[in-house]
Amino acid sequence: MFTAQLVIVREAIDVVLRRLERLSPSDNTEQIHVLVQECLEETDQWNASPPTPRDRDVLMKRLLALHVAVTNLERDARFGPTVDLVAIRAPSASIMRQPRNGGR
């Protein structure tokens, strides 16, 4: 079971690295590359000492975040910088409750 999970983690790392290679070099791509290399080094240590389920989950979450970061860089390269969705907030409940006809 552990070997299969290690293969999946390594494949996820390889995918991020291949996608990074297709992007133009930048500070962001370099930072992501360093973080991916750290993940790879961590999985190398798993051969000597298998990870706990928590350690494996933490690494998979880091890899997922790296995949998302690369996707954002790819989108920015293709379409220009994207809108920061965190900055967009839903309208407050009081605004939502106002009648459409001005309160009449």
Q: What is the pLDDT of residue 4?
A: 85
Would residue 62 count as lying in a domain? yes
Instruction: Name which of 8-12, 51-55, 93-97 the model is least confident about.
Output: 93-97
Give pLDDT tens digits for 17-36. 999 999 999 999 999 999 99
Question: How is residue 22 written in tokens?
Answer: 């297709």
pLDDT of 86 > 80? The answer is: no
Rounded to an integer, the average pLDDT of 63-91 is 75
Tell me if 39 sits within 8 A of 59, measured CB to CB. yes
Residues written for the chain = 104
Grouping H, G, I as helix, E, B as strand and the rest as coil, residue 104 is coil
Q: What's the structural domain count of the chain? A: 1
Would residue 95 count as lying in a domain? no
Would residue 103 count as lying in a domain? no
pLDDT of 93 > 50? The answer is: no
Q: What is the pLDDT of residue 104?
A: 46
Domain range for 12: 2-87
pLDDT of 15 > 60? The answer is: yes
pTM of the full structure: 0.72
Would residue 100 count as lying in a domain? no
